[in-house]
Amino acid sequence: MKKTIAILLITLFSSPLLRAEAPQNFKSRKKLIKENRELLQRVEQLEAELEAFRTDAAERASIETELSGENENKVSAALEDYTASTDTLLGQWYMHRRSRSSAREQYNMDSVRFTTDVPDSVLMRRLKNMNSFITLPYNETVKNYMILYSEKMPRKMGEMLGLSEYYMPIYEETFRRYDLPEELKYLAVIESALNPRAESRVGALGQWQFMYRTAKSYGLRIDSFIDERLDPVLSADAAARYLRDAYRIFQDWPLAISSYNCGSGNVNKAIKRAGGKTDFWDVYEYLPKETRGYVPAMVGAMYAFRHASEYGLVAEPMSLPIYVDTIHIHRNLHFAQVSELLGIPLDDLRDLNPQYHKDIVPGASGDEILRLPFNYTSAFLELADTVYNYRKSELFTDAVKDGREVVSGRPTPTSRHSTASGGQWTYYKVKRGDTLGKIARQHRCTVKQLMTWNHLRSDRLSIGQRLKVRKK
């Protein structure tokens, strides 16, 4: 093609007819060669741009496929209406590991109209002054969610404010790394109320509510010992990459955020039904019911967090340490080994490392991490060999494969999903009306013993909770 263009140009400008009729326009051979070279360069540039466009279109199609699928059926744990039993993961507030908190206030946000003593002019000014990359015009829908999070759920906001002291710095660092707006961190508030063990009724898991296949496609590991959807650092990284891809498709943050909730397919359908319009409010009524409130809810949560002091919202004390060290583990390790030798409460290890859902760090099969309160790091490093070997034969049934240990997953007395060892322990499932005193009398022990055996910090119980007790 390039040679054909060159020949045509040379033939055209070398034509005797052209020279005869317009000798004043005759160009030298040197000038023709120069122009031909410039034209060839332009053709090459256009071909490169066309190829880049084709590649980009293919990548966009691939990304759209990843963003759709499972997420089109996803429901955020923090937004869905729960009618489940009192031992749901949403109900087991992560911060204190106590009994289920009071039921979340349920409102039909499509019909409720909240009122407030704060004038509209103040709300509008505060919304504008948030100076966010992701903002919405002030209207009744946005106003409703601003009031909901700032005035209608003070206990829940106190818990989330407490949890945010630990988790928000993780999210901020992650989104900065991908050059994304830090305000995206509030999506975790809407998705899970910052509960890393939150699970929706359709199986979305963790603070960022990843479905199984979506999590796998974004590189999160899910196997017998690890579910990285529960890892606050790795799941936030996957969420950042997902949102980056969604923004690349829609070039609009409210629509990209909406696709995180309902999948790109549903957002594209809404755009088509809106006649191709891409403004959030133009497609609003065509989005799935839950998704309509998703972005306004995020703005409402952002407003409540930033203006918490004006509403008397105070962070509840949390048990998680703010300063944490990360240790690389290359051998199999059980939480019980660390807890019993170093004196770290077992629940603290679980809270800092929720991805290990069987209390086992399978380090022998690859490099894994363990998060510890920083004041325990030195002790762990000094006693590492002792820790790894402590009760090893009891806690693991190990085989050797390719020169490395392979954890068999044998249940242990201290595991959350264990059976008794040595026949001296059994488990009791808490029923409605049970108290620690009542259970202690039934099993001929003291309340203090029950609390010690089960690492309880209060006497509150959840229906369905399993307590370890000595056999009679």
Same domain assignment for residues 19 and 131: no
Mean pLDDT computed over 294-320: 92
Same domain assignment for residues 219 and 351: no
Same domain assignment for residues 282 and 398: no
- Of 255, 283, 311, the last residue of a domain is 311
User: 175: helix, coil or strand?
Assistant: helix
Residue 393 domain boundaries: 324-407
Count CB atoms within 10 A of the CB of residue 7: 11
Alpha helices in 224-293 (DSSP H): 232-250, 253-262, 264-273, 280-283, 289-292
Q: Domain tally for the chain?
A: 4
What region does 187 belong to: left with phi over 0, alpha with psi -120 to 50, or beta?
Answer: alpha
Q: What is the DSSP string of 196-235?
A: TT-B-TT--BTTTTB-HHHHHHTT--BSSSBBGGG-HHHH
CA separation for the pair 283, 280 (Å, rounded): 5
Residue-level pLDDT at 47: 74
Is 169 domain-assigned?
Answer: yes
What region does 366 belong to: left with phi over 0, alpha with psi -120 to 50, or beta?
Answer: left
CA separation for the pair 165, 316 (Å, rounded): 10
Pair of tokens at residue 302: 């952002």
Same domain assignment for residues 55 and 75: no
Paired residues of 334 in beta bridges? 360
pTM above 0.75, yes or no: no
- Of 280, 311, 342, the last residue of a domain is 311
Is 107 domain-assigned?
Answer: yes
Is 360 domain-assigned?
Answer: yes
Same domain assignment for residues 58 and 86: no
Same domain assignment for residues 168 and 258: yes
Report the half-sphere exposure of 116 (CA within 13 A, side-chain side): 19
Core vs surface per residue 305-343: b (16+ CB within 10 A) or e: bbbbeebebeeeebebbeeebebebebbbbbbbbbeebe
Core vs surface per residue 417-442: b (16+ CB within 10 A) or e: ebebeeeeeeebebeeebebeebbee
Same domain assignment for residues 249 and 302: yes
**Nearest to residue 44, comparing CAs of 89, 6, 10?**
6
Q: What's CA 383's distance to the chain center, in Å? A: 34
Is 420 domain-assigned?
Answer: no
CATH number of the domain encompassing residue 458? 3.10.350.10
Mean pLDDT computed over 81-87: 32
Same domain assignment for residues 17 and 94: no
Same domain assignment for residues 225 and 132: yes
Is 318 domain-assigned?
Answer: no
CA separation for the pair 276, 269 (Å, rounded): 9
- With a cut of 90, say whether residue 254 has pLDDT above it: yes
pLDDT tens per residue across span 161-220: 999 999 999 999 999 999 999 999 999 999 999 998 888 888 899 999 999 989 998 999
- Of 46, 64, 82, the last residue of a domain is 64
Is 317 domain-assigned?
Answer: no
- With a cut of 70, say whether residue 432 has pLDDT above it: yes
Cβ proximity of 141 and 106 under 8 Å: no
What does pLDDT average to over the chain?
A: 79
Q: Which of 58-72, 252-266, 384-398 has the lowest mean pLDDT?
A: 58-72
Is 222 domain-assigned?
Answer: yes
> What is the bridge-based pairing of β-strands 425-429 and 404-407?
unpaired
CA dihedral 43, 53, 179, 62 (to 10 degrees): -150
Same domain assignment for residues 25 and 107: no
Is 419 domain-assigned?
Answer: no
CATH number of the domain encompassing residue 219? 1.10.530.10
Same domain assignment for residues 379 and 462: no
Same domain assignment for residues 396 and 303: no
pLDDT tens per residue across span 358-393: 899 999 888 899 999 989 999 999 999 999 999 988
- With a cut of 70, say whether residue 401 has pLDDT above it: no
